[in-house]
Chain A
């Protein structure tokens, strides 16, 4: 059933050969095709612009007022590429190898290799667009090592790399909007996918200002709608980031892959109050000089300055003498949670650990610390009101990225013909764990350099096909969407949308968060359906359907998270191993490290929606490794 369509032949020749084998659309015929692109972040904007440049007619949709608002802007650290400019031994194969290994061997070799190959073109493209990457005095591009990589392959634009790359594809997109090849629909949210004869042929949207429900038809539909971290309510994602477009497509037949693979980032600012609306990430470069510790004594509420050196537990340095504070994200996160679970957490809530710069300030001097981390210290102070030069920072892990997503083949097509998934919304390249500075790379690879080739292969067969919004399928979908909105507005219960979302977030965080086990997952599988019922019986959504109504927007999204959350738990329960961001308490070594089960779980867990009453059905795409040997990570 799952045909990955990975081409035969040696790894390094697959993509080149495949590009030749793909059918082409005659240049004069491209204008006869309409393509819908939903989401205009890095992946969506780069795809929409590139498709329009080729001659296709593109309709792009975003719930934002402008493509420049997409959450791609928030990526701080950088973007990887195998340029090997610093002459330190990087290569396409090394970037491929690091990404496969970092993903704990749960991604497809051919896709990851292609990503590494394309990485270099991306940097060329962005520089030509005027992206102001950091440079050396000689005028050439500067690179840095990021997230524990052994080579310096990360390109960056101050702490704003995502923002600058997005502005790059936004500039390409507005240029196409100006020529009329892209029609951009701001403040439009996709609420359903329309299928005709088993293929994706359009979408239903809601105009967020007027509430108007509209049909849009096309020869193919591209979703670049981001990840689902906000299922947890508190995450580092933007407030509006949601899974609705992907989830609607899933319910229409697109399989969902590895939903339990979520990434938790260790250095976030902890929750301050019950009214916390989102979490803020601070660059993990802080761990280069900060020392992580908790008081040795349980429940020690003294001021950190009163806790002497021998009363402190620098637990990462104690457990991992060689990597110390620089252990990977998942390890650092899990250990922090453990310390807090044991009662050694700090701060008012006890859900934080210290990240202390006192030694660094003494060793390097305050000026150097300011030079390296000044902006992060300011940001921390702005949010917490505490000065990290004087009192250790408090940090805690937070959900940050989702590796899982809709399943795609080598052409980035989902299990629905004509439906393509790009960027964080697909599951393809990061396996069970994403490396730092790789998200931007993947989004742009998909949009600039993969989809524009692969989509033609599908479209050639559709020449002359006349798709009209008059088709009955559009009317049916529209009626469904309107009915759902009407239902949300008429429940008129006693709990707000946020209140229920917060409860879902807690269930997921407790049971499908950093460490998972059978009992917890079963608890989640029991609680989530009940909460979903509670939502449909007791939610209160104010306002009407035909006006700008943020509460209604949120309600629709939370309703979908309440279904997706259950699938996340189901997938986590099925995966009887620990790998990457997925840690099962039952599967760990004597030293509490993750224990993979390659014999039974070297596959992509892909879920098919089977209707409201039946559980989703699991399909497996077995992963074959011909070019790398499966090894165990060790940071001791």
Chain B
């Protein structure tokens, strides 16, 4: 098949970007979207042009490195997957595909389709952990945890930190990301000692990073490749209010 890509190109963080068009021939529908980009990049290199920079690593949907806005949707037209799991059979022959980076104030573009998500690390630094050192921990079975709580904590913990929630949110809110961590640790007995300070600090950092507010549109849970529910946002809100009394 043959497709035309309209790709956002931007040399550096502070340079002016623009869309460029690239016709791509001989695309096989079994190729992944990134393999199609690899092929195009090889052609650009041989033609003496600058290949398109994009972030990717595991290419099996778990590391959270990749993330493209394709035809106006985070991670492309399918749900429950990351961009690296998208294959060309999801596109029609002859179509134009628009490819953009995540767009959010807190995710500045580094180059082309690569953005800087270090704000996610800083929010984790603010409190996304249980303050214990290595060693001296009790036996793993000393504190039983109801299966339902453990399972729900796992649902929240499955967040891969890709940033699709932020990219798709009209307010560029990071509430789904932050709530996933707050929810996971709130549901576990080990997370109780820092329950209040954690939610306060993480929310404060989120505001500081320039993420927008949550207006409960639910777009984030639709595009989350791990299908994390906005139930966790509700829990974050409860925890945040409780922490101020």
C-alpha spacing A448/B134, complex, angstroms: 6
Task: Tell me the minimal C-beta distance from B224 to chain A in angstroms.
Answer: 15
B200, CB-defined interface residue at 8 Å: no
Asked if A277 and B34 sit within 8 Å, CB to CB, the answer is yes
Residues in A381-418 with C-beta less than 8 Å from chain B: 382-385
Residues in B80-138 with C-beta less than 8 Å from chain A: 81, 85, 87, 89, 110-111, 114, 116-118, 120-121, 124-126, 128-135, 137-138
List, in ascending order, chain B residues with CB within 8 A of A449's CB.
134-135
A280, CB-defined interface residue at 8 Å: yes
Residues in A193-213 with C-beta less than 8 Å from chain B: 209
Q: What is the size category of the interface that chain A forms with chain B?
A: 35 or more
Asked if A275 and B140 sit within 8 Å, CB to CB, the answer is no
A24, CB-defined interface residue at 8 Å: no
C-alpha spacing A305/B103, complex, angstroms: 48
List, in ascending order, chain A residues with CB within 8 A of B135's CB.
121, 125, 448-449
List, in ascending order, chain A residues with CB within 8 A of B20's CB.
none
Q: Which of B149-157, B166-174, B207-215 contacts A (4 or more CB under 8 A)?
A: B149-157
Task: Tell me the minimal C-beta distance from A177 to chain B in angstroms.
Answer: 6
B29, CB-defined interface residue at 8 Å: yes
B190, CB-defined interface residue at 8 Å: yes
Per-residue B-contact encoding for A122-162, CB less than 8 Å = 1, 0 else: 01111111111111111111000000000000000110100
List, in ascending order, chain B residues with CB within 8 A of A121's CB.
135, 137
Task: Tell me the minimal C-beta distance from A157 to chain B in angstroms.
Answer: 6
C-alpha spacing A550/B113, complex, angstroms: 13
Per-residue A-contact encoding for B16-47, CB less than 8 Å = 1, 0 else: 00000000000011111011101101101110
Asked if A65 and B116 sit within 8 Å, CB to CB, the answer is yes
List, in ascending order, chain A residues with CB within 8 A of B130's CB.
128-130, 171
Task: Tell me the minimal C-beta distance from A597 to chain B in angstroms.
Answer: 38
List, in ascending order, chain B residues with CB within 8 A of A550's CB.
51, 53
Which of B11, B48, B60, B184 has most A Cβ within 10 Å? B60
B132 to A, closest residue via Cβ: A128
B49, CB-defined interface residue at 8 Å: yes
Asked if A138 and B144 sit within 8 Å, CB to CB, the answer is yes
A174, CB-defined interface residue at 8 Å: yes
Asked if B134 and A174 sit within 8 Å, CB to CB, the answer is no
Q: Helix, strand, loop or mixed for chain B's interface?
A: loop
- Known contacts A128-B137, A382-B81: A498-B117 contact under CB 8 Å: no
Per-residue B-contact encoding for A256-276, CB less than 8 Å = 1, 0 else: 000000000000000011011
A50, CB-defined interface residue at 8 Å: yes
C-alpha spacing A138/B185, complex, angstroms: 20
Asked if A132 and B134 sit within 8 Å, CB to CB, the answer is no
Q: What is the size category of the interface that chain B forms with chain A?
A: 35 or more
Task: Tell me the minimal C-beta distance from B153 to chain A in angstroms.
Answer: 4
Asked if B134 and A238 sit within 8 Å, CB to CB, the answer is no
Out of B11, B34, B62, B145, which one reaches A163, CB within 8 Å?
A: B62
Asked if A452 and B134 sit within 8 Å, CB to CB, the answer is yes
Out of A127, A164, A171, which one reaches B129, CB within 8 Å?
A: A171
Asked if A275 and B124 sit within 8 Å, CB to CB, the answer is no
List, in ascending order, chain B residues with CB within 8 A of A132's CB.
150-151, 153-154, 157, 184, 188
Asked if B129 and A542 sit within 8 Å, CB to CB, the answer is no
List, in ascending order, chain B residues with CB within 8 A of A141's CB.
140-141
- Known contacts A238-B63, A382-B85: A551-B51 contact under CB 8 Å: yes
- Known contacts A64-B65, A277-B38, A452-B134: A128-B85 contact under CB 8 Å: no
Given A141-B141, A543-B51, 11 additional A-B pairs, CB 8 A: A65-B118, A125-B135, A132-B184, A139-B145, A163-B158, A172-B134, A209-B111, A384-B30, A385-B87, A548-B110, A550-B53
Residues of B within 8 A of A (CB): 11-12, 28-32, 34-36, 38-39, 41-42, 44-46, 48-51, 53, 55-65, 81, 85, 87, 89, 110-111, 114, 116-118, 120-121, 124-126, 128-135, 137-141, 143-147, 150-151, 153-154, 157-158, 160-161, 184-185, 188, 190-191
Q: Give 8 closest A-B pairs by Cβ, nearest first.
A: A139-B144, A171-B129, A128-B137, A132-B154, A50-B134, A127-B140, A132-B153, A178-B125
